[in-house]
Amino acid sequence: MTIRICIAGATGWVGRELMRAVAASEDLALAGAVARRAAGEVAGGVKISATLDAALATPTDVVVDYTKPDAVKGYVLHAIGRGVAVVVGTSGLGADDYAEIDRAARAKGVGVVAAGNFSLTAAL
């Protein structure tokens, strides 16, 4: 089964690497990408969208968010509202934000992995 991925923050330093990794994977497919400043460009075989809503016009299983602290919560809640699972790699969310995301995800029956720091040191 191929998992369809949308990368939010596709042109950031992590987003670019994620785009490459998804494109190179045999069991993942790049379904969409979001980067406001690069909207309209093509990367990894998909047109970069200015908004998550536009990117989710293509069927997507998981949104991977590597945006910015002021954008992440809105993106996550929007994806959950659309019934799409989310992996959050962006830092900057607080306990109240995580609680709101948890409530929304449980209500919608959607999985969310939120780890605002994927660095090797933090993982260890």
- Convert the pLDDT of each residue in 34-77 to its tens digit: 998 899 899 888 999 999 999 999 999 999 999 998 999 999 99
> Residue 122 corresponds to which tokens in the numbers above?
């933090």
Instruction: Indicate if the pLDDT at residue 80 is higher than 70.
Output: yes
Q: Which residue has the tokens 């040191």?
A: 121
* pTM beyond 0.85, yes or no: yes
Joined together, the tokens standing for residue 48 give: 């970069």
pLDDT in tens, 2-24: 999 999 999 998 899 999 999 99
**What number does CATH give the domain 3-123?**
3.40.50.720
Q: What is the pLDDT of residue 1?
A: 87
pLDDT at 116 over 70: no
The single-letter code of the amino acid at 55 is: A
Query: What Rg do the C-alpha atoms of the chain give, in angstroms?
Result: 14
Token code pair at residue 78: 């929007």
- Report the mean per-residue pLDDT for the chain: 91
3-state secondary structure of 30: strand
**Domain boundaries, given as residue ranges, for the chain:** 3-123
- Residue 117 scores a pLDDT above 70: no
* CA 80/CA 74 separation, integer angstroms: 10
Task: Kindly give the residue spans of alpha helices, DSSP state H, lying in 1-124.
Answer: 13-24, 52-55, 72-81, 95-108, 120-123
Gap between the Cα atoms of 2 and 92, Å rounded:
31
